[in-house]
Amino acid sequence: MNPKLTTEIVTRFQDKFKTQPLVLHSPGRINLIGEHTDYNEGFVFPAAINKGIVGAIQKAEKPYCTVIANDLDEEYEFSLNTIKPIANGQWRNFVVGVVGELQKRGIEVEPFNFVFGGDIPKGAGLSSSAALENSVVFGLNELFGLELSKKEMIEISQKAEHNYVGVRCGIMDQYASMFGEKDRALLLDCRTLKAKTYPLEFEDYQVMLINTNVSHNLVDAEYNDRRDVCEKVAKLLNVNFLRDATKAMLNSVKHQLSEDEYQKALYIIQENERVLKAGKMLEEKNVLGFGKLLFEAHYGAQHQFKISCKELDFLVDEARNNPHVIGARMMGGGFGGCTINFVKAEAVNAFSEDISKKYRKAFKRECSIYFVELSQGTHLTNN
């Protein structure tokens, strides 16, 4: 990760607290394919990236905790005796949420100081929140010798998001951020939490992210609504999760569902199939087949699961019309954030320029383009 950012965070910590911190890198993630399948106990295909959160943590001498969000230049002090969700608390809820979830499990920590900063643009759909939660839980685990496994840590991070932030997210982001491997993507079974790792060997193709720089309102409510629909259909089908549903089963209850609910459940069934197919395509080095799956996934996200937006659709349409792009789709929870594109290496510059110009013209705003490397999950670092 960014060495300049690491130095900045460590310096801020030392200036403020006059002690030497433990330093953590906790990455964000991309997802090749498989959206909203994680909370259906299905399949996803994420990878940790070389952008994320840098955290510096150490025990406090005072009887309370102090946390500094370096990028925002905001400071928050809190007592360990009064942990609860904070209304409009934003980043604060990720930190106190982790502490609260530890306490819920009977795990007590002592006062600590924490400074963090990141190089993931907020709202880009690259999971800065999971990276932050993981950095806190990993840091506390080290600092107080809690002996939590990585699996326990990501469950705590996820629950912090459910109970303090109010998003009933799946496990993909926390898993990818914690278990990421350098140069590899993780095809994760969200039921068993077992992943098969794949090198991303696309030879002539490059992964390019395009950020719409929009994040539409009510994203959290829309997200929870999608989860409710999935749970409703699963219940009707008498299965615990849509992971266990087939198209034939779904068709047998079609008359009890609205067209909208039917399409959403169908999307989940098909998206799970696509993730598994994507793994096979990579094994067979069938790059074009892999790319086609991405376009199909976007179609499903746009028309069936309805988690896209006009800016994302525009970027994917442009990608589809460009012969040098073999696959593209919206990435993450939806309603804004980034698209992921697989672009012929020699055409990357031309495509970047072309799409930036067209996006500016269509929406009177800029898109941002990122190239990322696949990286190691949350870890301590010698700064």
Question: Active-site residue numbers?
Answer: 173
Q: How far apart are CA 13 and CA 363, in angstroms?
A: 41
Q: List the one residue out of 345, 380, 29, 333 whose CA is nearest residue 185.
A: 29
Q: Which token pair is 140?
A: 């506390």
Q: How many helices (H) and strands (E) does the chain have?
A: 11, 13
First-to-last CA distance in the chain? 11
Closest distance of CB 39 from ligand GLA, Å: 6
Strand-pair partners of 195: 188
Q: List the one residue out of 313, 132, 296, 118 whose CA is nearest residue 214.
A: 313
What are the phi and psi torsion angles at 260 (to 5°)? -60, -45
Sheet harboring 379-381: ordered strands across? 74-78, 65-69, 112-118, 46-59, 22-31, 379-381
Closest distance of CB 18 from ligand GLA, Å: 37
Closest distance of CB 353 from ligand GLA, Å: 29
Q: How far apart are CA 155 and CA 162, in angstroms?
A: 10
Q: How far apart are CA 83 and CA 199, in angstroms?
A: 42
DSSP state of 78: E
Q: Which is nearer to ligand GLA, 65 or 207 (CB)?
A: 207
Mapped onto helix, strand or coil, the DSSP state of residue 341 is: strand
Q: Which is nearer to ligand GLA, 11 or 224 (CB)?
A: 224
Closest distance of CB 321 from ligand GLA, Å: 26
Closest distance of CB 29 from ligand GLA, Å: 8
Integer CA distances (angstroms), 206 to 313, 318, 329, in order: 21, 17, 15
Q: At residue 317, what is the residue type?
A: D
Q: Which is nearer to ligand GLA, 140 or 160 (CB)?
A: 160
Angle ∠(104,106,110) on CA atoms, nearest 5? 100
Q: Which is nearer to ligand GLA, 162 or 292 (CB)?
A: 162
CB atoms within 10 A of CB 38: 24
Q: Which residues bind ligand GLA (CB under 6 A)?
A: 35-36, 38-39, 127, 169-170, 172-173, 332-333
Q: Which is nearer to ligand GLA, 142 or 152 (CB)?
A: 152
Q: Which is nearer to ligand GLA, 37 or 70 (CB)?
A: 37
Q: Which is nearer to ligand GLA, 43 or 359 (CB)?
A: 43
Closest distance of CB 340 from ligand GLA, Å: 12
Q: Which token pair is 317?
A: 């349409």
What angle, 0 to 180 degrees and rounded to 10, lies between the N-to-C axes of helices 259-283 and 219-236? 90
Closest distance of CB 240 from ligand GLA, Å: 17
